[in-house]
Amino acid sequence: MFAVEVQRLSKVYKGGFQALRGVDLSVEEGDFFALLGPNGAGKSTFIGILASLVNKTSGRVRVFGQDLDRDPETVKSCIGLVPQEFNFNLFLPVFEVVLNQAGYYGIPRREARVRAERYLRQLDLWDRRDTEMRRLSGGLKRRLMIARALVHQPRLLILDEPTAGVDIEIRRSMWSFLRGLNREGTTIILTTHYLEEAESLCRNIAIINRGEIAERTSVAALLRKLHTETFVLNLKGRVSELPELGGFVLQYLDDCTLEVEMNRDHTINGLFDALSRNGIEVISLRNKQNRLERLFLDMVDHRAADVGGQA
Amino acid sequence: MSRLARDWRRYAVTFETILAKEILRFSRIWVQTILPSVITTTLYFVIFGRLIGDRIGTMDGFAYLDFIVPGLVLMAVITNSYANVVSSFYSSKFSRYIEELLISPAPNWVILAGYLAGGVVRGLVVGSAVMLVAWVFTEIRVHSLAVMLMILLMTAILFSLGGFINAIYANSFDDISIVPTFVLTPLTYLGGVFYSIELLPDFWQAISLANPLLYMVNAFRYGLLGVSDIPLGIAFGMILTFILVLGAYSLSLLRRGVGIKT
């Protein structure tokens, strides 16, 4: 079964801006799915329509087989939303925020208390349960938004830039929590600017650009399209002049650090041989992150060029 | 349990949650929400009732102080029920936590009912407090408790609806004070709170009949004192009609997402 099935979804805002242009997209139940795109591509509009915060202009949305127009209450019950912007009453304490959200979903108070405690504990917020929202840091607010979105135990969790502005430690702990949630069966759709996040967490991916789906594939298949790898090398000594190495593109990061881009038909052994022949000794190397970023930029740039060419 | 029964149980929990949240909100800031009306009306009783009232004499056969009590109580109910909904709903829009409700499966009528109930409770709490103050200064006996309670309840519902519509259309905090300052207050003062319209020339009496607040004040005065410038049936009919029209309009605004969805 599809968790989300969207057909010919369009959205034209009042000023005439067309945010979505007949989007067709489906997400399998149990998937961990990334929706990527540059600013203004239509990601938040797409999510807003799924979560009933934005009125669609046309098209059809089904969530776990239920039509959003025909049975909005059932669809809404299935979805938990972690929005991009903080949307709390800043004067309420943490526990009350989660309890109120449970109440809006019709969960009786006694059950709501049990669930609120469970999720606040899981997200390390239980000690802060009496703290007013305005006194929480950005990272804690982000975690609270996840607890709030889970209190009615949704089958589909949608996260719009969930780790924006949080430190690495909190980000990693949130990743671990989300992976566990997905393993237990919750379908997750994620938008993010951190492509490393999508690469690390998600199985499938859609790239949205100018209101259209530019690519919809698995993360693994997308990465296979990447023909080059980039490594950062820490050198034993200083290199005064960059050697010419056939098949490898070298550039200085500093005197003792080189960045090497190599085609996939070359090997690391070949790279080391070539470096050794030029008297360059390597202490360590690391794979440069954000491989997805390169693909993403290529894809978005190509489409922009195509549109420009047609104009 | 059938789906219908489950749904109704869910609606009841949602309604209770919104109502509890609203009551907690105005209770936490009671110095801003409850006390001012009590202080203002106490001053009215002291100045217009005790100091100036004796010089005015009687009105419709009642001491002036007794005559103005119903209008002052109703004024407190109107102001507070309106203010509660307009400020609470607009704040939830402004800080975007209205989204907590919009993404939930709560039907629009439950959301509306929850906010209205919050406004009604605050209106009745403040109205009761003003009434208690009135009993310190006067010896009024209630003429018809049923009429009095019905009018209080209906007026609180009507002005909660007004506050809700104002909040939907408001784009800034300035917008939520324009209607109370420039529409509600003048209509209340000219709605026969401090005088009987029989004192006015015929032309101004006719103009006054176009003021819906006149009907509420007079119907409430009937409940408390047993006198009214307006037939009771017309007053009830008018308030009920306004409630139905504004209620349907509010639901239509919510359904279309005016001011809260893009």
Is A45 a domain residue?
Answer: yes
Is A296 a domain residue?
Answer: no
CATH number at residue A246: 3.30.70.1560
- Alpha-helical segments (H) within A43-137: 43-50, 72-78, 94-104, 109-122
Test A89 with B107 for CB contact under 8 angstroms: no
Claim to verify: residue A111 and residue A14 sit in the same structural domain: yes
Mind listing the pLDDT tens digit for each residue in A171-219?
A: 888 889 999 999 999 999 999 877 778 888 999 999 898 899 988 988 8
CATH number at residue A207: 3.40.50.300
A153: number of Cβ within 10 Å: 14
Claim to verify: residue A212 and residue A268 sit in the same structural domain: no
Claim to verify: residue A113 and residue A232 sit in the same structural domain: no
- Band the pLDDT of A311: cuts 50, 70, 90: very low
Claim to verify: residue A110 and residue A249 sit in the same structural domain: no
Is A116 a domain residue?
Answer: yes
Cα pseudo-dihedral B13, A88, A124, A82, rounded to 10: 90
Is residue A242's pLDDT more than 70? yes
Look at residue A93 in the predicted model and tell me its pLDDT. 95
Look at residue A297 in the predicted model and tell me its pLDDT. 67
Residue B7 φ then ψ, to 5°: -60, -45
Segment (H or E) for A253? strand A248-254
Claim to verify: residue A27 and residue A125 sit in the same structural domain: yes
Please tell me the pTM assigned to this model. Answer: 0.85
Test A52 with B102 for CB contact under 8 angstroms: yes
Test A51 with B7 for CB contact under 8 angstroms: no
Q: Chain A: which residues have CB within 8 Å of chain B?
A: 13-14, 48, 51-55, 72-74, 76-77, 79, 81, 83, 85-90, 100-101, 103-109, 148, 152
**Which DSSP category does A59 fall into?**
E
Q: Where a domain ends, among A196, A224, A252?
A: A224
**Close Cβ partners of B158 (under 8 Å, ≥ 6 residues apart):** B216, B239, B242, B243, B246
How close is the nearest chain B Cα to the Cα of A51, in Å? 6
How close is the nearest chain A Cα to the Cα of B111, in Å? 9
Is residue A301's pLDDT more than 70? no
- ipTM score: 0.89
Claim to verify: residue A283 and residue A244 sit in the same structural domain: yes
Claim to verify: residue A168 and residue A92 sit in the same structural domain: yes
Claim to verify: residue A118 and residue A11 sit in the same structural domain: yes
**Residue A143 near residue A123, CB atoms below 8 Å:** yes
Closest CA in chain A for residue B88: A89
Claim to verify: residue A203 and residue A238 sit in the same structural domain: no
In the predicted model, residues of chain B with pLDDT beneath 50 are none
Q: Distance (Å, rounded) from C-alpha B189 to C-alpha B215?
A: 13
Q: Distance (Å, rounded) from C-alpha B91 to C-alpha B85?
A: 10
Claim to verify: residue A182 and residue A268 sit in the same structural domain: no
Is A298 a domain residue?
Answer: no
What's the total number of domains in chain A? Answer: 2
Claim to verify: residue A88 and residue A29 sit in the same structural domain: yes
Give me the residues paired with residue A267 across strands. none
Range of the domain at A283: 228-291
Q: Distance (Å, rounded) from C-alpha B119 to C-alpha B124?
A: 9
Q: Pick from A160-174, A284-298, B220-234 the range whose average pLDDT is largest.
A: B220-234
Claim to verify: residue A278 and residue A184 sit in the same structural domain: no
